[in-house]
A = this chain, B = another copy of it.
Amino acid sequence: MTLNDADALFAAHLDSLLPKAVLRPVEPRYLAEPRGRWNGRAGVLALPRNAEEVAVLVRAASAWRVPVLPYGGGTGLVGGQIMPEGPAPLVISLERMNRIRAVYPSENVLVAEAGCILADIRAAAADAGRLFPLSLAAEGSCRIGGNLATNAGGVNVLRYGNTRDLCLGLEAVLPSGQIWHGLSRLRKDNTGYDLRNLLIGSEGTLGIITAAALKLSPVPASIGTAMLAVSSPQAALDLLALAREQVGEAVSAFELIHRQGLDFLTEVLPQVRQPFHTTPEWCILIELGLSGGADAGEALERLFETGNEAGLVEDGVIARSEGQRNALWTVREHLPEANRLIGSVSSHDVSLPLSAIPDFIHRAAEAIAGIGPFRINNFGHLGDGNLHYNVFPPKGRSRAEFSEMADPVKRAVHDIVHDLGGSVSAEHGIGRLKTDDLVRYGDPVKLVAMRAIKAAIDPCGIMNPGAVLVPDQRGGAG
Contacts and interface: CB of A to CB of B under 8 A. Distances in A.
A291 interface: yes
Given A197-B198, A198-B194, A249-B249, A386 B457 contact: no
A418 to B, nearest CB: 11
A29 interface: no
Contact of A249 (B217, B355, B442, B456): B217
Interface in A44-59: none
Given A292-B290, A353-B107, A188 B162 contact: yes
A190 B384 contact: no
Interface in A196-222: 197-198, 200-202, 206, 217-218, 220-221
Contacts of A249: 217-218, 249, 291
A324 interface: no
Given A194-B164, A218-B244, A250-B291, A351 B447 contact: no
Interface string A58-81: 000000000000000000000000
Contact of A190 (B217, B221, B293, B426): B426
Nearest to A383: B187
B106 A174 contact: no
A323 to B, nearest CB: 25
Contacts of A244: 218
A221 B200 CA distance: 35
Contact of A457 (B181, B186, B293, B452): B452
Contacts of A381: 188
Interface stretch (A149-157, A304-312, A361-369, A370-378): A149-157
B430 A191 contact: yes
Contact of A189 (B187, B246, B423): B423
A449 interface: yes
Interface of A: 104, 106-107, 109, 150-151, 153, 157-158, 161-162, 164-165, 174, 176, 178-182, 184-195, 197-198, 200-202, 206, 217-218, 220-221, 237, 241, 244-250, 289-294, 299, 351-355, 381, 383-386, 421-430, 434, 437-438, 441-443, 445-450, 452-457, 468-469
